[in-house]
Every structure is written in C-alpha cells, then in structure tokens.
C-alpha cells in the first residue's frame, strides 16, 4: 500500500468546506479562489491539487494559520521548504492512516497579489457545492496575473505552470456571460482593472483569437 495519496476533487471540496467553516469559527469570512474556485465554477478539465482561500481581514496570514492549527487538529503547520522564508505551510489532514492524504491550504488576504476585498454578500455559491467562491471576473483576472507572473519568473517551477495557466484562461474566457461585464463589477478596485488591461494586451499578443472575449466583457483591446 502506498504511503500517501493525492486528494481527489471530492477531497478538495471537503477541505474547502471545512476550511471555510473553521475560519468562521475563528471569526473570519472567506472565499475560494485559484484552481479550487475554477473547479467549483465548473471548469471541466481542472482537478485542483490544493485549496487557495481569501480571508476577508487585515490580519497577517501567519496569525490566521496559527489560529486554525490551534483550534483544529486536522490543520498542520510545517516550515517552509525555502531556507530563506520564515512563513509556515498549512496542510489539512484528510486521512491520517495509510495511505495518508493531506491537502495544502494557502491563506491570503486582500491586497496581496492584487486580490480585491470581496464583501460577504458578493461571494458566489455556484453548482450547488455550498462553497463560497470569488466572483468569476476577478477569478479570471487573478488567473491572468498568475500567468503574467509565472511567464516572467526565473524559477523553472513557476515557468512550468504557464501552459496550464493558458489552458485555464482560455477555458474561462469561453465561460463568460453578461454578468462578468465590467459594468456589472464596478466594485472591483481600479488597480486590478488597470493592471489587468496591461496583462490582457500581452495575452492577446500570444493568443490573438481571444480579443473578442475580452471585448465582450468591456476591455478595450
């Protein structure tokens, strides 16, 4: 029997629900973004390997991680693999017995990585999973930022993510509807829109056929 097993999509959804609940127990509102949110929104070819959570607070992410680990034994803190980094990595133990199943949980707060502040009332609950996720347009724009950052990075592990980023963005563009138009998302911070406009130009240069989708939601390409 193998010592470990990767989490399934069902495992990921379970971890997402339990993380959101654990955060609520600590007094925090939150929502998913990243690949787990893409999965919940219905992307067909996206099986996430971890859970990315935006916690709607100004608290330091390290404080939030510590609170989760202190109040729920399934949350485990481990030192960063990077020798120069002082932050901890947070995992959720889905199964302790062999094969052990753990899922990495990334905690972020608004302001980091262009992440906007999402009011609790703006959170979405698509596809009857009962998991709060970031609205679709900012999810797409944050995915675009990830693509831009990864392709410019000198780290080979980041550059290796670029092909998947490009597949994700193209599939997400096909899922757009009128609710995703800029005029229906005026709550988004101007810095996110401004930075996204530059990244969209770069993306369209790589994938010229996507200009129609960007124009459909109000970007001047």
Residues 153, 71: Cα–Cα separation, whole Å: 37
Closest CA to 124 of 109, 136, 111, 112: 136
Q: Which ranges in 92-183 belong to alpha helices (H)? A: 136-152, 156-159, 162-174
Which residues of the chain fall short of a pLDDT of 50?
A: 1
Judging by DSSP bridges, how do beta strands 88-95 and 30-33 pair with one another?
unpaired
Q: Please tell me whether residue 186 adopts helix, strand or coil conformation.
A: coil
Nearest to 198 by CA among 148, 158, 164: 148
What pLDDT, on the 0 to 100 scale, is given for residue 197? 98
Tally of CA atoms within 13 A in the half-sphere of 2 that contains its CB: 5
Per DSSP, the three-state class of 82 is coil
For residue 1, what pLDDT is reported? Answer: 44
Question: Are 99 and 54 a contacting pair, CB within 8 Å?
Answer: no
Task: Retrieve residue 206's tokens.
Answer: 């790589």
Alpha-carbon span 12 to 35, nearest angstrom = 10
Collapsing DSSP to helix, strand or coil, 161 comes out as coil
CA 41/CA 177 separation, integer angstroms: 13
- How far, rounded to the nearest angstrom, does the alpha carbon of residue 119 sit from its chain's CA centroid? 16
Two tokens, residue 117: 């502040």
Domain ranges across the chain: 9-122, 136-217
CATH architecture type of domain 9-122: 2-Layer Sandwich (3.30)
What's the CA gap between 101 and 88, in Å, rounded? 19
Residues 157/166, Cβ–Cβ less than 8 Å: no
Given this model, what pLDDT does residue 85 score? 66
User: Could you give the CA distance from residue 23 to residue 28 in angstroms, rounded to a whole number?
Assistant: 5
pTM of the model: 0.92
- pLDDT value of position 92: 96
- At residue 45, the pLDDT reads 79
Which residue has tokens 């302790």?
A: 96
Q: Are 99 and 87 in contact (CB under 8 A)?
A: no
């Amino acid at each position: 029997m193998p010592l470990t097993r990767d989490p399934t999509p069902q495992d990921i959804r379970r971890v997402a629900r339990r993380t959101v609940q654990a955060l609520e127990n600590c007094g925090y509102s939150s929502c998913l973004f990243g690949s787990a949110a893409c999965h919940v929104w219905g992307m067909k070819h996206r099986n996430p390997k971890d859970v990315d959570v935006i916690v709607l607070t100004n608290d330091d992410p390290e404080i939030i991680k510590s609170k989760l680990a202190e109040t729920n034994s399934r949350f485990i803190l481990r030192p960063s693999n990077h020798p120069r980094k002082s932050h901890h990595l947070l995992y959720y133990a889905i199964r302790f017995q062999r094969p052990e199943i753990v899922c990495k949980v990334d905690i972020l707060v608004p302001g980091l990585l262009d992440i906007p502040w999402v009011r609790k009332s703006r959170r979405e609950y698509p596809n009857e999973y009962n998991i709060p996720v970031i609205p679709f347009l900012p999810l797409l724009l944050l995915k675009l930022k990830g693509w831009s950052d990864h392709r410019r990075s000198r780290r080979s592990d980041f550059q290796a993510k670029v092909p998947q980023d490009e597949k994700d963005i193209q599939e997400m563009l096909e899922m757009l509807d009128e609710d995703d138009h800029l005029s229906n998302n005026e709550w988004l911070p101007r810095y996110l829109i401004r930075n996204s406009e530059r990244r969209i130009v770069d993306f369209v240069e790589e994938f010229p056929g996507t200009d129609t989708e960007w124009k459909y939601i109000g970007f001047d390409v």
